[in-house]
Amino acid sequence: MFHKEGFKIIFIALIIVIGLSLLANLFVENPTIRGGVIISLIILLLLVLQFFRNPKRNFLVHPNQILSSVDGKVVVIEEVFEKEYFNDKRLQISVFMSPINVHVTRYPVGGKVVYSKYHPGKYLVAWHPKSSEENERTTVVINNDAFGDVMFRQIAGAMAKRIVNYAEVNQEVDQASDSGFIKFGSRVDIYLPLDAKIKVVLNQKVKGGVSIIAEKE
């Protein structure tokens, strides 16, 4: 299964691979070179397909727990001062996604969208300390019955050039449902209340909509 954000790119990639393969068959006489070109094109297509994959998972609702929004590795767990929306201290958990990870973004909690904003910006590497404030990003805040307001931020990396965000203010959303997509490498920051109990450790690998990252004390 593939994410809808990849349909156009997959179609274009398929046409290019087929077209160049036909040209290689027609104009490249050396069979070794011709075979190498065709194999390289097939590998390129497979890379595009794996990037936009959207595997089926058994999502369970956890009303008193917060789920990871994305697949990847936990790279930050710290207390920070969040100044875009809260203007106070929050617990920040950041998950870095490599190009080989599933890049679907999911709602970490269910509730009502109370804030959703896109910010144009730079394309620093996603693990750069200033990427959460200077890179292209979106910020979404969900009001949740158990945790109050929970923020998550999609951050473009050095390779990512487009963030897709489906969240709209006043929209009611379900935990683990699809909230967007980040194309080609990125990171997601989640900002939690200080009394949330963290359930992950640095460098732990997590799965979007499945892995529990925090719960109520």
pLDDT at 128 over 60: no
Which residue range(s) make up the domain with 208? 65-216
Q: In this structure, are residues 15 and 23 in contact, taking their beta carbons and an 8 Å threshold?
A: no
Q: Which of 14, 29, 51 is the last residue of a domain?
A: 51
Mean residue pLDDT across the chain = 89
Whole-angstrom distance, CA of residue 136 vs CA of residue 161: 8
Q: What is the arithmetic mean of pLDDT over 23-33?
A: 90
Are 82 and 108 within one domain?
Answer: yes
DSSP state of 63: T
Are 107 and 194 within one domain?
Answer: yes
Which residues are known catalytic residues?
Answer: 186
pLDDT in tens, 31-78: 899 999 999 999 999 988 888 888 888 888 889 999 999 999 999 999
Task: Identify the pLDDT of residue 2.
Answer: 85
pLDDT at 127 over 60: no
Domain of 185, CATH number, reads 2.70.70
Are 185 and 95 within one domain?
Answer: yes
Q: What is the pTM of this model?
A: 0.85
Are 24 and 71 within one domain?
Answer: no
DSSP helix/strand/coil, 6: helix
The number of folded domains in the chain is: 2
Does residue 60 fall inside a structural domain? no
Q: What is the arithmetic mean of pLDDT over 124-134?
A: 61
Are 94 and 21 within one domain?
Answer: no
List all residues 6 or more positions away from 111 whose beta carbon is below 8 Å from its beta carbon: 142, 143, 144, 145, 150, 172, 173
Orientation of helix 7-27 relative to helix 31-51, angle to 10°: 180
